[in-house]
Amino acid sequence: MEDKLRAIVTKIEASTLKDEDKEELYATISEGLQATVWPVLLKYMPKEQLEYLAADPKGRVTVESYAKLIEDTIKDGVALKEIEEFMNKVLEEVEKALAQEGIK
């Protein structure tokens, strides 16, 4: 993933786009990467914990309960792996979109 991202940034930097356009693209890429995270995390969140918290957020969501929810979600590494796979796909789409505009 790092190599892909680096290659994309190199292409964008080498392009004739204006600096503000480059920044806009970086922001878009960043948003695209971020968008992959919550859906996957939600998929792997322990359902009972999530339901319990969601049923009464004000009363039940604490630093500890939230931290436990996130920790339990990522502790076996499966969610993080899936997130990485999605991020790779996002970057592939970015490459395609850039190529369509002649930034190769």
CA angle 101, 38, 21 (to 5 degrees): 25
- Binders of other proteins among residues 34 to 93 (CB under 8 A) are 34-39, 41-43, 50, 53-54, 57-58, 61-64, 66-67, 70-71, 74-75, 80, 83, 86-87, 89-90, 93
Give the burial class of 29: count Cβ atoms within 10 A of its Cβ; 0-12 exposed, 13-18 middle, 19 or more buried.
buried
Residues 91, 88: Cα–Cα separation, whole Å: 5
Please report, as ranges, the residues that interact with other proteins according to CB under 8 A: 1-2, 5-6, 9, 15-17, 21, 24-26, 28-39, 41-43, 50, 53-54, 57-58, 61-64, 66-67, 70-71, 74-75, 80, 83, 86-87, 89-90, 93-94, 96-104
